[in-house]
Amino acid sequence: MERTAFIFPGQGSQYVGMAKDLYENNVKVQKQIDEAEDLLDFPLKDICFEGPEKLLTQSQYTQPAIFVHSAIVDTLVKQKGLYPEAVAGHSLGEYSALYSAGVLNFEDALNLVKIRGALMQEAGEENPGTMAAIIGLDSEKVVNLCNIASSVGIVKPANFNSPGQIVISGSVQGVERAMMLAKEAGARIVKKLPVSGAFHSPLMEGALGGLVDALENAPFDNPEVPVYTNVNAEPETNPEKLRLLAQKGLLSPVRWEDIIKNMVKNGIHKSFELGPGKVLCGLNKRIDQEFECQSFDTQSDLEKLN
């Protein structure tokens, strides 16, 4: 039997209307989303189901919205008898992965995501920055470009997503200089991203203290399956190490390409992307064409499992 991983999306996968059909079709989902809304103290359903998009893209709303959607799909898929041999999540998605693996319960994970989203939104307002995708250059070249561009402002690789697709993050001046250098170096696409801060860069340092405190106070249990983490792309099973890596993950780049390569090396050849969108399935195809990926987002996706 094929070994399977559950993978969970991060910020950028949200869309207006997310989880609405799941809510309308399942009493247990209604209960879980209503409970989440009580814990969050903001109108989660309205923001997810109706938007506006501008509100949904603010980190303090986006991150809990994506986590709740992913956690619900994880529960529904497991109810149909599907279980993973390993889990991983892209940036914020690592918290969904920790929940799926049984490291964190729903309430603790949601509380951490709520704190993380609010702190990152705040850090983004205090130290405005931006992010850009660079497509068509290798990682070594992008690292070099960032080093050169950092003479005018902070800029670093934030996500090593797939071969030739790297996201950079930092101050507006640093990112814009790196974008210019990337175009000159022959990048196929150089595109600024609609984000509320310079994620996975030193400009997020203001969020670190509060997140470390929250993580220290959250009970981390032994995972039921290995969690491949963003920071080192390795399968981890030690709860204290997972806690430490979640702290480091705020400022460190996401090593998604290495995560998938390591899964394949360890005999995992199939994944299910659980939550909004299909971003990770797209990345996985570019990392390894043989690596199967199926996304479960909507009610109709889940009905295919019957």
> E strands, 3-154, where?
3-8, 86-89, 130-135
Cα→Cα distances 161→20, 26, 257, Å = 29, 34, 5
Rounded CA-CA distance 13/137 in Å is 24
The residues with which 89 forms a beta bridge, in sequence order, are 8
What are the DSSP calls for 209-269, one per residue?
HHHHHHHHHSPPPPPSS-EE-TTT-SEE--HHHHHHHHHHTTTSPB-HHHHHHHHHHTTEE
Phi-psi region of 95 (alpha: psi -120 to 50; beta: other; left: phi over 0): alpha
Three-state DSSP state, 103: coil
Judged on CB neighbours under 10 Å (0-12, 13-18, 19+), 39 is middle
Is 162 considered catalytic here? no
Rounded CA-CA distance 93/121 in Å is 17
Catalytic hit among 90, 200, 271, 295: 200
Cα→Cα distances 226→68, 89, 103, Å = 21, 12, 10
Structure tokens at 36: 């989440």
Is 91 considered catalytic here? yes
Catalytic hit among 91, 100, 271, 295: 91
CA 19-105-159 angle, 5° bins: 65
Q: Which residues are catalytic?
A: 91, 200
